[in-house]
């Protein structure tokens, strides 16, 4: 099983000035209609298949 991605990781990738919340919202919007989602879990976020 893969480990969750912490909220610090996206900020390091896109820059400290970026809003992680907006980035997560954008990713979730792009995943609408796809068989997986970005789930918030203890320790961060993970891609999960929809059931």
Contact partners, residue 28, CB within 8 Å, separation at least 6: 37, 38
Query: What pLDDT does residue 29 have?
Result: 93
Query: Which residue, 30, 50, 22, 29, is CA-closest to 7?
Result: 22
Region at 13 (left for phi over 0; alpha for psi -120 to 50; beta for the rest) = alpha
What pLDDT is recorded for position 33? 94
Q: Is the pLDDT of residue 25 over 60?
A: yes
pTM of the predicted model over 0.75 = no
Res 34: pLDDT: 94
- What does the pLDDT read at residue 24? 84
Query: d(Cα 37, Cα 12) in Å, to the nearest integer?
Result: 22
Structure tokens at 33: 């209609």
């Amino acid at each position: 099983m893969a480990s969750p991605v912490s909220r610090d990781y996206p900020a390091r990738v896109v820059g400290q000035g970026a809003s992680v919340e907006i980035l997560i919202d954008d990713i979730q919007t792009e995943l609408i209609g796809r068989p997986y989602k970005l789930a918030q879990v203890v320790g961060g976020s993970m891609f999960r298949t929809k059931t």
